[in-house]
Structure 1
Amino acid sequence: MTRIRTRIQRLSATELLAAADTLGDLLSDVVADGSSLGFLVPFSPDEAAEWWRSLAPAVADDRLAVWTARDGDRVIGTVSIAFADKPNGRHRAEINKLMVHRTARGRGLGRTLLTAAEHAAAAAGVTLMILDTQTASPAESLYRTAGWTQAGVIPDFATDPSGTLHPTTLFYKHVGLEAVGPGR
């Protein structure tokens, strides 16, 4: 097993734009491997890089936070948090696009990225996090073992990259000081 020297970093909008090509390589790899992330095959690295570039305004406005895991200059993992923009929802945020390159899986990187996002959300005042994932995917096991609670399953919610419909499992997790407060 090749040793990975991982560096986790939250990206500014400028850094996101600079990393768009290598993020595109990661995203197209994960989609090609069958992960349901909202994209259909064929999905080129160039198309994926353009999608990442389109997120720069949301990152600049602090509506979205993006972290990368790098091995040298190569992005091998990422996770994002979308912050709620409604006044009555500022206590919650959503985990988006947690992905690890297939050559870097099985080494705890997904959990490391998830934990970094949870800690950053709590530091930003978030107390409730939500996410969804394809039912019965490897990610579902990760979320369960990381302390996330299943809220339900929606049938035929999204397609995999080949266009086949699959159910989606919704999860939530309390983070921050409120996570250990009364009633939790």
Structure 2
Amino acid sequence: MIKDLLFWVAPGALTVIGTTGVALAMASPVMVADLTAKGRAQLDASDASWAEVAATGRDLFLTGSTDSEQKRSAAERVLAALPGTGTVDNRIFLAAAETPFRLKAIVEDGVITLRGSVPNQVVLEDLTHRVEVANLAVHAGYPDLQHWREGVDFAIARAAEMESGEIELSDLT
């Protein structure tokens, strides 16, 4: 009896478990990308384009910097309201606003020093490791992060070619 049960039930159970695992593995990347895209769209629509969103499974991670707890909480509420969201890990940093958002690359005797504002802790750590001297602080109020990073990368690349001089970024200029 048990032998017959194992003969008929075990292959069916293994098939169901195996195909479920394969289906989940194939659907997860699409689900994560969709949830991230929907979160990005909702943040942009709710005037929180300064915030960044990433997903792991159904859980969302909210990062960036802002100058008020109200904006921080509002961005979290927007993501928490998305269908399919598990938890929202709010890692938004509260910082003083800087307008215009400035960053200087100063070159003296071939040594690059960065001074000014950065939008978050991740960027702060990245830039600190890329130059010899960094006097940077996290501030809110930065312009479009992707374009700002492109400007910073351009400025650092040009500064590396100089023996002495100064390059200043003011918002996206």
More RCO (CA 8 Å, sep 6+): 1
Band the TM-score falls in, shorter-chain normalisation: under 0.3
Structure with more helix by fraction: 2
* TM-score (ref. length: structure 1): 0.26
